[in-house]
Amino acid sequence: MFTLLPALAIFSRILIGFSPTFLVPLAWAWFLDAHHHLLVWEAGFALSLGSGVVLWWLTRSHRRELQARDGFLLVNLVWLLLPAYAAIPLMYTVPDITWVKAYFEAMSALTATGATALSGLDSLPVSVNVWRCFLQLIGGLGIMLLVVAVLPMLGLGGYQVYKTETPGPMKDAKFTPRISETARGLWSVYFGFSVACLLAYRWAGMGWADAFMHMCSTMGLGGFSPYDASMGHFNSQKVEWVAMVFMALAGINFVRYFVVIRGRTLRPITADREIRTYVTVLSISILLVAILLTAHGVYGDFAQSLHSSAFHVLSLATTTGYASTDYAQWPVFAPVLLMFLGSFVSCAGSTGGGIKMVRMILLIKQARRELVRIVHPRVVNPVTLGGAVLPMSVMTATFGFMLIYGATIMGLTMVLLFTGLDQVTAFSSVVATVNNIGPGLGLVGPASNFGVLTDFQIWVLTYAMLLGRLELLSVLVLFTGAFWRR
């Protein structure tokens, strides 16, 4: 039988590395919460550090090079157990919260989904909201990439983990010889954008605390906010413009930024088919929604419609989930389009969710190829991307992913319908969580939250967030008998 111990041995080190994150809300509590809840964050740090040390001691003799199955198992352990540790402080700092909602909130944060089950965010201690948002920053791109960078220093290979965690179908593509260099390069770019985003929010008029929290949820494309009204709290177009710029940037493959910086040329971005399609789809969608809002008199003039359209299209399409108004009240085409865009627009290698733009491009290319073959059966017309012919294994993986993606959306929706949830809420909540978008429609729309659902419904959607963040196959492979046999 396949053993868990090597993966647990590595997880112990990850848990030890995760423990200092509790010091971030501890610092904010010290300065802004009048020393309230200091003990909670200190206990969270001690518990995670102590658990990691104990687990390391118990599994220290099981260190070995990670195999592919170890990588899948480790990734699942990280995304299942770290939210449990992250949820514990919420139990002692958020009034009337249950464990189900606390774990849902932590999972939503670490998967950068942004679906919240909490209300009264404005009255929560600053340290609690900092914790929620900071988890999105480290969850969006950071946790596993940091692990990939750290593992070689421990004498353990990290390539298997990188392949498991990296979003998109092109998992075998490496842009530096060593995976640790890859991790450090991506993290450097991510950190640089985060600092720029923080300063931009401060320039736009936010206080340092608000700027820090919104930077975390913008770069992680998670969309958490310390206010129930989300971005509508600020009522500032300057703030929204900053959010739009960095949401759009974070929706692009971070590998491309690294290559641009290293090569000092913009060609890796301008020549990238996925990025060009990303920009085109966003531009057309923004214009289309703006025309719709103007035609229905939702706003007084086209400029206002264009601004609101741009903000919400970018927010939902990149799976951030910010809102400055209740867009569910717009003509029905608009909110449905926003949910649809969130399912595929983000680029592979970004912090966004969904099936990724590159998969949509491949599916369209394959459909076009089949149409040509109907007319010309003998023509040689391979699927290409960036001028290179794609191997059949990539297309097979894409088809398999899409089949499971559709089955997952349908299956989870049917489960929620069985519990008595209405059709709009059931379907949109599954789409929102599997694609890590955040808010849905109906009872879980932008003016409400997921706290109105039953515990069982919340557990279903918690699982949906995990599936979406790990791109389905990395989770579902654990349920196959072949995975556990030697």
Range name among 19-33, 170-184, 186-200, 410-424 with the lowest pLDDT average:
170-184
Share of the chain above pLDDT 90, in %: 59
The answer to whether position 418 is within a domain reads yes
- The fraction of the chain above a pLDDT of 70, given in percent, is 90
Number of residues in the chain:
486
In a domain, 322, yes or no: no
Q: Which of 316, 141, 349, 347 is nearest to 243 (CA)?
A: 316
Q: Report whether 8 contacts 73 (CB < 8 A).
A: no
For 36-56, the pLDDT digits (tens) are: 788 999 999 999 999 999 999
The answer as to whether 285 is a domain residue is: no
Q: Which residue has the higher pLDDT, 262 or 385?
A: 262
Range of the domain at 454: 387-484
Quick one: average pLDDT of 435-446?
94
CA 203 from centroid of its chain's CA atoms? 26
**Residue 404: inside a domain, yes or no?**
yes
Cα separation, 93 vs 48, whole angstroms: 18
Q: What's the pLDDT at 479?
A: 86
**Residue 64: predicted pLDDT:** 66
pLDDT confidence tier of residue 165, bands split at 50, 70 and 90: low
For residue 255, what pLDDT is reported? Answer: 82
Residue 195 within any structural domain of the chain: no
- Residue 130 scores a pLDDT above 80: yes
What pairs with residue 384 in β-bridges? 389
Count of CB atoms situated within 10 Å of the CB of 296: 13
**In total, how many domains does the chain have?**
1
pLDDT tens digits for 302-327? 999 999 999 999 999 999 999 999 99
Can you tell me the mean pLDDT for 220-244?
94
| pLDDT higher than 50, residue 162 | no
Mean pLDDT of the chain: 87
Contact residues for 265 (Cβ-Cβ < 8 A; gap 6+): none
What pLDDT is attached to residue 292?
96
Answer yes or no: is 411 within a domain: yes
Residue 368 has pLDDT above 80, yes or no: yes
Specify the amino acid at residue 73: L
Q: What is the pLDDT of residue 485?
A: 76
Buried (b) or exposed (e) across 128-155, using 16+ Cβ within 10 A? bbbbbbbbbbbbbbbbbbbbbbbbbeee
Q: Is residue 334 part of a domain?
A: no
CB within 8 A of 424, min separation 6: which ones?
441, 442
Q: Would you say residue 116 lies in a domain?
A: no
pLDDT at position 281 over 90: yes
Structure confidence at residue 192 as a pLDDT band (50, 70, 90): very high
